Amino acid sequence: MLHLRRLKPQPEDGYSLIEMLVVVVMVGILALIAAPSWNGLINGRRAATVRDEISQALRLTQDQAQRQRTAQTFVLTTPAIGAPTVSVAGGAPKALANNVPLSLLTVTANPAAPLTLRYTEQGVLAGTTATPTQITVVVGTARRCLIVENLLGTLRQRDGADCP
């Protein structure tokens, strides 16, 4: 005897076009909500990186002055075009802001000319005034500051609205 099998209806595998469109629209909406926060986070990290590079160069200059027992000079140059540079102890200028778009970056210090700080053999700043020197790094809307206290050359870091 020949048995006839009944064919069961097969379930459809996969997704419909409407389901895919709904998912794409939802992902797009989430991306639009998250993009400004992500951009602010990235710019904040970039500004902090540049500020940390300047801080490290200042500490290196102070350390070399104490170790070598000779006065050492730190120079921060902020040209209108191109990357800002630091020079430690008379060395070749080193460009800052690696991987930071220069169109977003602004580095300013109190004087309009290149900022020059001279550390004595004891590691204190020579020929300073009573007001601290402030270096401000701005990337997009992110703002980071480095304040050099002139009595002992100590460094303070500030973020955002805390920058004077």
Q: What is the pLDDT along the chain (164 residues), one digit of tens a residue?
A: 566 666 666 666 778 889 899 999 999 999 898 888 888 888 888 888 888 888 888 888 888 888 888 888 888 888 777 778 888 877 888 888 777 777 777 777 766 678 888 888 887 788 766 677 888 888 888 888 888 877 677 788 888 877 77
Range of the domain at 66: 17-162
Distance CA(26)–CA(35), nearest Å, equals 14
Task: Please give the pLDDT value at position 72.
Answer: 87
What pLDDT shows up at residue 111?
64
Three-point CA angle 83, 87, 93, nearest 5°: 50
Q: For position 43, which CATH number holds? A: 3.55.40
Q: Is residue 7 part of a domain?
A: no
Whether residue 53 is contained in a domain is answered as yes
Domain annotation covers residue 10 = no
Strand partners, 133: 148
Q: What are phi and psi for residue 60, nearest 5 degrees?
A: -65, -40
Cα dihedral value 158, 115, 139, 85, nearest 10: -130
Residue with tokens 């977003």: 104
Residue 9 domain-assigned (yes or no): no
* Domain count of the fold of the chain: 1
Q: What pLDDT is recorded for position 23?
A: 93
Q: What is the pLDDT of residue 11?
A: 67
Q: How far is CA 117 from CA 58, 79, 98, 109, in A?
A: 9, 18, 23, 12
| Residue 8 forms part of a structural domain | no
Q: Whose structure tokens read 């701005």?
A: 138
Residue 36 lies in a domain: yes
**Full-model pTM:** 0.75
CA atoms within 13 A on the CB side of 127: 6
Q: Are 43 and 139 in contact (CB under 8 A)?
A: yes
Does residue 3 belong to any structural domain of this protein?
Answer: no
- Domain assignment present for residue 11? The answer is no
